[in-house]
Structure 1
Amino acid sequence: MTSKDHTPHVLILGGGIGGLTLAQALRKKGIPFSIFERDSEQNSRSQGWSIGLHTILDDLKASIPDDMPSLETVFHLHPLKFPSQLAVYQAQDPSQRHGVTDDGAGKLLRANRRRLREFLSTGIQVEFGKQATGIQEDHHSVAVNFTDGTSANGDFLVGADGVHSIVRRHLLYPNEDKLKRLPIATIVGEVTLENEDMARQLELGHSCYIVRADNNITGSGDLVMFVGVNDVLPDAKSGLYYWFLIWPDEAATQGSHWTATASQQELLSAARAMTKNFAPEFKAIIEKTSVGGMRAPPLVMHDVELSPEDISSGRVALLGDAAHCMTPFSGQGGVTAIRDALDLARALSRVAEDGLRGAGLEAVMAKYRDTMLERGVRAVQLSRDAITKSNLVREGAPFAYGQCSKPIPLEKIRL
């Protein structure tokens, strides 16, 4: 229940970026919470690749407690001093590029995802190994059951539990889940580069760069290559890189797509063949990647679109990928999850401060739901269309990380 004599307790399913951001915002507001993560420990699996933080940095800094470290500690290029930068190229012309570069005003910060989760875990106890199996709710409370036989009770439940969210399925029941597999295929590689090899990649884009190619170049349809720095090693002369090849492919909606069963060697050979007509500067990172650096199987792309009519408003809410998972091709997923978390914290704070219940509580939560879903659907469609409608190949990135793209001069870097 909620009243001015009772501070609501919030249960958060999911210890990723969205769930942790919500926890920090609630911690600052003095609203009690418990956060549950299905993984056995924080680093039990890959934390994913770097994430661009933009347009929400001021709100994030203002919404988290004062005992947090500096947000700059999550910077993916640390200890290097280069500003965050995204560049876009045509596949056969490395001499011309456009994109965005942080101007020092704090509008763009590309974060290492592991460091960001560690930052957002400050002062928070996450209960690991908590896989939810069932949810019960009434007009006064919510309960969650876990596979280990335990349960948790609270006034609100927030599903920050990712793409395959059990909370989303609970809200949609008895209707089917709306998660869908997309007609987008990928090949993914990872490689550690050092010295001159790393310097050449930094010259192409400090943080990341995109190479776009149409059928005239590939002979097999539109293709996008994304290359990014995940982390710089302490010697400041080597770093962990990752790259994607992405293309529209209707067959990718089926489990039988050839990439699903291809060996690492087959994936690497395919990547080299698909980029054979790229400029040597762009092919270099694939040539440097070993067979063992290939991700097998590659990523499967999903997204989900929900409307306010799909899910009720009340004591159970969604945020981030649980509500609107999307492809990573517009740089919106992480930022949208953080914005959801900050908005939801404000909604829960109003419920707590005003002692809302019944229709008043539902109205506040419905406003959050509607705003969150509208924002999420826009981002989902933009991210999907970047590949399925070849917008990224045709248009490049005229608007990226919350800024208008502009020509970026070429540069020479020494490490």
Structure 2
Amino acid sequence: MKESTAQTQSNWIACEDCHGRGKKRRKLAKKTRLHYQRQLELFEKSGGQVPLPIRPRGHLYTCPSCEGTGIVSTDNPPTADSSTYPHVAIIGGGIGGAALAVACLHRKIPFTLYERDLNFDARSQGYGLTLQQASKAIRGLGVILDDQGVISIRHLVHTTSGRVVGQWGGGIPVLRPEGSSIKRSNIHIARQSLRLSILAQLEQNDSLQWGHQLLDFKQNDTSGIEMSFLVNGEIKRAHADLVVGADGIRSTVRKQVISEDSSPLRYLDCMVILGICPLAGLNHTDSDLLDSATVFQTANGNDRLYVMPYTVDSIMWQLSFPISEADALDLSAKGRKALKEEACLRTPWHAPIPQLMAATPEDKISGYPVYDRELLHTEQFDHIGDVTLLGDAAHPMSPFKGQGANQAILDALSLAQIIAKECPFSPWKTLGLRKTILKEFEKEMLSRSASKVKGSADAAQFLHSDIVLQEGNEPRGRCRTKF
């Protein structure tokens, strides 16, 4: 594996004060405690005629010991505790799978991370991503992005002539109500850079298995789950107590436990063409939109171009447009040259867009149809035993709200935290992991991600309509609700 350029602490371990949760709960005030006791006594005396009072809980606050990250530095790497925790088999070494592996590592949860690729660079793992809700969670994985991510401070929306119809962000000189604060900026980072920064913590750990393609698995009442992998042309078997599918929108794990007919891929009537352009290729292009601090989008009511910082010396663009599924598949199959020609043909717009398209190397361009799936419900997990899903395997979504990686990271931390919270105090070996941890995890995950899936699907429609051109100094999703 390459050397990570992000700053990482060599060893981290779950904070003992908050048990790795990042938050602690305040003690109940005496008045609240006594009131609950009186209500409970009334319930018992009434023989159930009055409602059972709800047990009050103290308010949560940020743990001062770990500053809300859930982890603290340690001199020695944590050692897996196999007697207390289940062994977790993580299928898929993308952002979500890597995040779960590291979150388990910090909490002494034994795990093995299986990735079908032969090595880190075997294939492209996507382009750039924007850390929103997950920017704080990244610190909870022991990754510090001080010199890695690029922070945007303003966002502009243009017509194809270059007229600004929307602008927001800390870098926009607009009047704000007295006492109001500037919202936190988003962090833009190359997906592979973030993935490498997370996986770097596993370099001294033998739990990362490259070149393992999952074939199938089955649960055994006495020996947990038996998995079969294709490794160097041979079948290899392994066991685990819990299998987690973090293997993407076409998840092998999902196909085995949830019927494809119940939640098939859903085409969102558009495709994207992606490109990465080095700023050096734009040396003779004078535009303040290329200052590595600006995100801008330009649209005509059908086609939409989104441009964001990628690294300090390059930018990423995403062109999206409605197209039939058959035509989208045909165009993406024609290769990079055809994709670049299509992008240039569709964007004879304001500067620096034509220059940006022309300067983007063909080997930095890709394109694909956009899919998601119908939302899963907790009942669909009830029969699948000690198996679960996270990230795109559980709730794939379009790229238009920038939530895929964010939600996968939050899924990973949530699952690790629930395992660490419940397993030391529950007879999980007899109760089963579904009852002990998985029902709670899946309920939280599906509830949290549902609005993101729906919002991303809605964005695939309204971002390619005249709605995106309505004037308003706020993100297009919020602007849309006012019309």
How would you bin the TM-score normalised by the shorter chain?
A: 0.7 to 0.9
| Aligned mate of 1:188, from 274, 279, 286 | 274
Question: Structure 2 vs 1, CA of residues 337 and 192 (structure 1 numbering), >3 Å: closer, same or farther?
Answer: same
Higher CA-based Rg: 2
Query: Are 1:127 and 2:219 an aligned pair?
Result: no
Equivalent pair of 1:39/1:129 in contact (CA under 8 Å): yes
Distance in 2 between residues matched to 1:201 and 1:165, nearest whole Å: 42
Q: TM-score, normalised by structure 1?
A: 0.79
| Residue of structure 2 equivalent to 1:25 | 103
Matches within 5 A, 1:46-195: 46-61=124-139, 63-64=140-141, 68=142, 70-75=144-149, 77=150, 83=152, 85-95=154-164, 97-101=166-170, 108-124=186-202, 125=205, 126-139=208-221, 141-148=224-231, 149-173=235-259, 178-194=264-280
Q: Using the alignment, how far apart are the partners of 2:355 and 2:399 within structure 1?
A: 23
Residue aligning to 1:224: 304
SS of equivalent to 1:329:
helix
1:205-284, aligned counterparts within 5 Å? 206=293, 208-214=295-301, 222-232=302-312, 239-249=313-323, 251-252=324-325, 254=326, 257-262=329-334, 264-276=336-348, 278-284=349-355
> Structure 1's 115 and 367: CA in aligned 2 closer, same or farther, altered over 3 A?
same
CA distance in 1, matches of 2:260, 2:322: 32
After superposition, the Cα gap between the structure-2 partners of 1:151 and 1:282, relative to the gap in structure 1 and judged at 3 Å, is same
- The one-letter code sitting in structure 2 at the alignment partner of 1:161 is D
CA distance in 1 between partners of 2:134 and 2:329 (Å): 38
Distance 1:38 1:261, change over 3 A: closer
Note the aligned Cα RMSD (angstroms): 3.3
Give the distance between the partners of 1:104 and 1:33, measured in 2 at CA.
Answer: 41
Structure 1 unaligned spans of 5+: 215-221, 233-238, 406-415
Quick check: 2:244–2:387 contact (8 Å CA) kept in 1?
A: yes
Q: Are the equivalent residues in 1 in contact too, given 2:107–2:420 (CA < 8 A)? A: yes
Tell whether the 8 Å contact from 2:156 to 2:164 is kept in structure 1 after alignment.
Answer: no
CA distance in 2, matches of 1:398, 1:23: 40
Q: TM-score, normalised by structure 2?
A: 0.69
Measure, in 1, the Cα distance between the counterparts of 2:125 and 2:425. Answer: 38
| CA displacement, residues 86-143 of structure 1 (integer Å, 9 cap, x when unaligned) | 4332322355541335899865322222221111113314211011000112456222
Residues 12-70 of structure 1, C-alpha deviation per residue, up to 9 Å, x if partnerless? 11111111111111111111111011111011112321211122333442x33xxx452
Aligned residues: 375
Mapped partners of 2:167, 2:189: distance in 1: 21
Q: Identity over aligned residues, as a percent?
A: 24
Q: Residue 118 of structure 2: SS of its match in structure 1?
A: coil
**Paired position in structure 1 for 2:61:** none
Structure 1 residues 114 and 289, CA, compared in 2 at 3 Å: closer, same or farther? closer
- 1:288 paired with 2:359, answer yes
Q: How far 1:337 moved relative to its partner? A: 0.6
> Which piece of structure 1 moves more, 320-329 or 375-384?
375-384
Partner of 1:367: 440
Corresponding letter in the other structure for 1:273: L
Bigger relative CO (Cα 8 Å, ≥ 6 apart): 1
Give me the whole-angstrom Cα distance separating, in 1, the residues matched to 2:407 and 2:424.
26
Q: Which secondary structure state, in structure 1, belongs to the residue aligned with residue 393 of structure 2?
A: helix
